Amino acid sequence: MLGKITYHKPINMVVFVNIIAYAFLIFKDKPYQWHALLMYCVVVTMICTVYCVIIKKKLGEGYLFLIVSMLLSIGIMMIYRLNPDRGYKQVVWSLIGIFVFFTSYYLYQKSNKWHKYTYFYIAISVILYLITFVFGTTINGARNWIVIGSYSFQPSELNKIIFIFFLACYFKNPDKLFIQKFHYDENVKIIVNRVLLMFVTYINIGFLVFQREWGITALFLLIYLVVLYVYGKGKYFFVINLALILPVAIIGYKFFYHIRVRVETWIDPWSDILGKGYQITQSLFAIGSGGFFGTGLGMGKPYLIPEVSTDFIFSAICEEMGILTGAAIVLLYMLLFYRGIKIVLSIRSKFERIVALGITVMIGIQTFIIIGGVIKLIPLTGITLPFVSYGGSSLVTNFITLGILQAISNCDFSSEGEFNG
C-alpha cells in the first residue's frame, strides 16, 4: 500500500517535502511561526490543483509540471525562510505564473500560424529593447528594469522566448527565410540569409551588452549556437560563428570593467575577499558549511551571502538542505532537460521541434550558467535559476515557456471527445 503511494504518485513526495520544510520553519523559533502553515497550505493546494488539472484534462506531459513543482516548492520555502515578505510575493508570482502557463498553453494551441510572424518577432524584440533603453532603470549594475509604480520587470526575459521563435522561423527552412521573391543566384540568397541571421542575433546581443546583462548575453549566444549546430546547414557557417565568439569575448574582456572583474574573481577570489571576491567566497563558505545534510532549514546563515534570494539561492539551498539536496536539484534539471528532448523527438512539425529544443536548451544552459557560477566552476554572471530564484519576470517567463512546451507535447496526439466506452 505504502509502496503504491510513494512509487506511483511522485506528487505525494512533493507534498511530503513541503510538510518537512514548513515544520522546520514553524518550530525553529519561539513563538512558533504559524503563518508558515498558511504558506504551506497555499503552496500545496496550488501544486496539487494544477497537477490534477493537467492529468484529468489530459494536457499532454505530466512529468514536466511534476518536476517543476518540486523545484518551485524548494524555491518558495527557501525564499520564505530568507525573507517572509519575498516569500509571499513569490507565491503570488507563482499563481500569476500558473495562470500564464494555462493561458500560453491555450493560446499556443489555438493558433497554428506561429511560424509566419518572423518580422513581427524581430520588431517586437527591438521595440522591447528600445523601451528598456529609454525608460530603463539601473538595478544592481544592469540597466534592464522597467519600473512602473512599485512593480518592476525585465523585458529581456521575454526576449528570450521571442528570440527562440525567431530562430525557429529561420531554421524551419534553413537559409530560405529572407529575400525569396528576388531573382538572385541561389548562393547569393543563402549568403544574404546567413548574414541577416547573424545580424539579428548580434543586434540582440549588442542590446544586451548595452544593458550589462552578461548572463543573458551568454545564454542567447549559446542557444543560437546550439540551434545552429543542430539544424543549420553548412559546416563552415557554424565554424565561423563559433570562431566569432573569441573576438567578442576578448573585446568584452578588454573594454568592460565588469567582465574583467568577474573573470579575475573567478580565477582568484581570495586575494580581495572583502571587496570584489566577497560574493563568491561567501557562496563557497555557505556551500561548504552545509555538509551532506545541511544545517536544517532556518538554522544556517545564508543571509550573509549578497543577492541570496535571486542569484545565490543555490548556495543557500546547499547550506541549509545539504549538498545532497543541491545535487538533487541538478538531477531535477537534468530530468527536465531530458523530458524536453523527448518531446522534441516525438514531434513531426519542424517549427515546433525547434521551439521545443530552444526552450529545453534555454532551461538547461541557464541552470548551468548560474549553478556553475555560484560553485566557481565558470565566471559568475547574474542570471536566475529557473523556477527557483526569486523574481516575478523570470518566473512568469519560465511558466510561459513551460506552457508552450506543454502545448507542443500535446499537439500530435490530442484525443478530442469520447464517443464510446
Partner 1 sequence: MAHALNQKGNGIFGGGVKVFEIILLLVKVLFALVIYLFIFGIVRLIYLDIKSMNISKVNINKGFPYLKLVNKREYLHFKVEETYILSKNITIGRYDKNDIVIKDSFISGIHAQITKGDSKIYLKDLGSKNGTFINGKKLEEGEQKLLKDGDKMKIGQLEFLFVEGSELV
- Please give the residue ranges that form the binding site for partner 1 (CB under 8 A): 6-10, 13-14, 16-17, 20-21, 23-24, 27-30, 63, 66-67, 70, 292-294, 296, 298-299, 321-322, 324-325, 328, 331-332, 335, 338-339, 346, 348, 412-421
Q: Nearer to partner 1 by C-beta: 95 or 299?
A: 299
Task: State in angstroms the smallest separation of the CB of 322 from partner 1.
Answer: 6
Cβ at position 37, least distance to partner 1 in Å? 17
200 or 305: CB nearest partner 1 = 305
| CB nearer partner 1, residue 67 or residue 354 | 67
Q: Is 162 left (phi over 0), alpha (psi -120 to 50) or beta?
A: alpha
Which of 97/294 has CB closer to partner 1? 294
**Which is closer to partner 1, CB of 10 or CB of 252?**
10
Q: Are 264 and 44 in contact (CB under 8 A)?
A: no
Nearer Cβ to partner 1, position 225 or 407? 407
Residue 253 or 293 having the CB closest to partner 1: 293
Q: Are 406 and 59 within 8 A, CB to CB?
A: yes
Choice between 27 and 106, CB closer to partner 1: 27
Can you tell me which residue has the cell 528600445?
130
CB of 323 to partner 1, least distance (A): 9
CA 234/CA 168 separation, integer angstroms:
17
Nearer to partner 1, 212 or 301 (CB): 301
3-state SS string for the chain: CHHHHHHHCHHHHHHHHHHHHHHHHHHCCCCCCCHHHHHHHHHHHHHHHHHHHHHHCCCCCCHHHHHHHHHHHHHHHHHHHHCHHHHHHHHHHHHHHHHHHHHHHHHHHHCCCHHHCHHHHHHHHHHHHHHHHHHCEEECCEEEEEEECCEEECHHHHHHHHHHHHHHHHHHCCCCCCCCCCCCCHHHHHHHHHHHHHHHHHHHHHHHHHCCCHHHHHHHHHHHHHHHHHHCCCHHHHHHHHHHHHHHHHHHHHHCHHHHHHHHHHHCCHHHCCCCCHHHHHHHHHHHHHCCCCCCCCCCCHHHCCCCCCCCHHHHHHHHHHHHHHHHHHHHHHHHHHHHHHHHHHCCCHHHHHHHHHHHHHHHHHHHHHHHHHCCCCCCCCCCCCCCCCCHHHHHHHHHHHHHHHHHHHHCCCCCCCCCC
CB closer to partner 1, 215 vs 294: 294
As measured in angstroms, the least distance from the Cβ of 336 to partner 1 is 10
